[in-house]
Amino acid sequence: MIEVNPNAPLGVFDSGVGGLTVVRALMDVLPGESIIYLGDTARVPYGSKSPETIRKFAVEDTQFLLSKGVKAVVVACNTATAHAMPVLQSMFRLPIIGVLEPGVEATLADPHCQRVGIIGTAGTIKSCAYQHALAMKRPDLQIYAEATPLLVPLIEEDWIDHPATKMIVKEYLKPMLDRGMDTLVLGCTHYPLLKPLLVKILNNKVRLVDSAVVCAEHVKRLLTEQELLRTAKGKPKLELYLTDLSEQFETLAKRFLRADFGRVQRVSL
């Protein structure tokens, strides 16, 4: 690991603006930290791309954040985490935290969990990264994974309370519910927005693991242990960079972040 400055900002990247759910969670648990966010909106979605392409994009995203002098990189995108963590961790010598490991830890924190469902993009589910990580630690676990590609567009359309979304979510979850799923891992940046609907559909009978929240808690633990918490006086800053700018991205960003942000800057990678 290289020497890092605790007062440097945290870097966070995602394929688009969905990763702002992770920024939201980071701002809640680490209100003193400055954050630089990169959303690769010019190349979103990552969820349907090949593993090689996702890895290449993730390396470029990380290089951009490093050029901004960040002290650690949070891979907010589940698809990028699932495919690119080993390559990022071997290429770069600063702390790199993905959403998967904290999600797995939080899932297994309840020793009673027996039947775990995982939902995510096609890329995340096909990588089997969540399935392997869970099975390595708990070989006795029943694991059901389902790619749920229709959910990202529905959430981006703000169709969260729409009957069509309810029907589609029920259809996706049915096979897992029929098998007695007791825990559901929300393995995608966008899914925290569906939590109210999921709670209703699942009648509070299935534990939900929100990878954004548990990732933020993990980052807090790591920064504390490595004495990397910001100590500088003054208000922390949030800087947003997108590889493509549009009105739609700004509207979406506000919904995901649930807060105002300043000027968004466009960058080329």
Q: Which is nearer to ligand DGL, 8 or 212 (CB)?
A: 212
15 counts as binding ligand DGL under rule CB under 6 A: yes
Q: How far is the CB of 211 from ligand DGL (least distance, A)?
A: 8
Tell me the two tokens of residue 229: 């918490």
Of 11, 39, 45, 95, which one interacts with ligand DGL (CB under 6 A)?
45
Query: How do 115-120 and 35-39 pair as beta strands?
Result: unpaired
20 counts as binding ligand DGL under rule CB under 6 A: no
Q: Do residues 54 and 129 touch, judged by C-beta distance below 8 A?
A: no
189 counts as binding ligand DGL under rule CB under 6 A: yes
Of 12, 33, 35, 46, which one interacts with ligand DGL (CB under 6 A)?
46
Q: How far is the CB of 152 from ligand DGL (least distance, A)?
A: 5
44 counts as binding ligand DGL under rule CB under 6 A: yes
77 as an active site residue: the answer is yes
| Range in contact with ligand DGL (rule: CB under 6 A) among 11-19, 86-94, 136-144, 231-239 | 11-19
Q: Do residues 78 and 211 touch, judged by C-beta distance below 8 A?
A: yes
Interface with ligand DGL (CB under 6 A), residue total: 18
Of 11, 39, 47, 192, which one interacts with ligand DGL (CB under 6 A)?
47
Q: How far is the CB of 40 from ligand DGL (least distance, A)?
A: 8
113 as an active site residue: the answer is no
Tell me the two tokens of residue 89: 């961790």
Phi–psi pair at 231, nearest 5 degrees: -115, -10
Q: Which of residues 150-179 bind ligand DGL (CB under 6 A)?
A: 152
Q: Which is nearer to ligand DGL, 78 or 165 (CB)?
A: 78
Q: Do residues 114 and 142 touch, judged by C-beta distance below 8 A?
A: yes
Q: Which of residues 75-114 bind ligand DGL (CB under 6 A)?
A: 77-79
Q: How far is the CB of 3 from ligand DGL (least distance, A)?
A: 31
Tell me the two tokens of residue 82: 């699932």
Return the exposure string of 168-198: e unless at least 16 CB atoms fall within 10 Å of the residue's CB, then b. Answer: bbeebbeebbeeebebbbbbbbbbbbbeebb
18 counts as binding ligand DGL under rule CB under 6 A: yes
Q: How far is the CB of 11 from ligand DGL (least distance, A)?
A: 16
Tell me the two tokens of residue 162: 């729409």
| Range in contact with ligand DGL (rule: CB under 6 A) among 58-66, 73-81, 104-112, 140-148 | 73-81
243 counts as binding ligand DGL under rule CB under 6 A: no
Interface residue list for ligand DGL (CB under 6 A): 14-16, 18, 44-47, 77-79, 120-121, 124, 152, 188-190
Catalytic machinery residues: 77, 188
